[in-house]
Amino acid sequence: MKIAFTSTGKDLEAQIDPRFGRTAFFVLLDTETTELEVIDNSAIQEEAHGAGTATAQLLFKLKPDVLITGNGPGETAAKVLKKSAIRIFVEAHQMSLRDALKHFENGDLREV
């Protein structure tokens, strides 16, 4: 399974970025191989408009099975993500990616 985290940093010790559209990084974890892939999304800070849909388009290309994030995508970004099969889990605020993964595996994160 491929899991995407919205992240403030580049490894599993980093904190979850609570924002979806303006997340600094996506960290992709392959749970079979435990390999990590890091996608820098920081250029989005320059965008005045449509950060949510732009990031949703990027995530669509990355094709994870699961997204773990904080606040959850806004309405417009959610409209885009609905076109994908990605399952979205939210409210992983103030957790490291590792903690968020643990919560996800225990079924403690809310799916939207």
Residues lying near other proteins in the complex (CB under 8 A) are found at 47, 49-54, 56-57, 60, 76, 79-80, 83-84
Give whichever of 65 and 108 is closer to other proteins, judged by the CB atom.
65
What is the DSSP annotation of 3-59?
A: EEEEESSSSTTSBBPS-STT-SEEEEEETTT--EEEEE-GGGGG-SS-HHHHHHHHH
Q: Shortest Cβ distance from residue 66 to other proteins (Å)?
A: 18
Nearer to other proteins, 42 or 57 (CB): 57
User: Which one, 79 or 110, has the nearer CB to other proteins?
Assistant: 79
Q: Measure the CA–CA gap between 105 and 6, rounded to whole angstroms.
A: 17
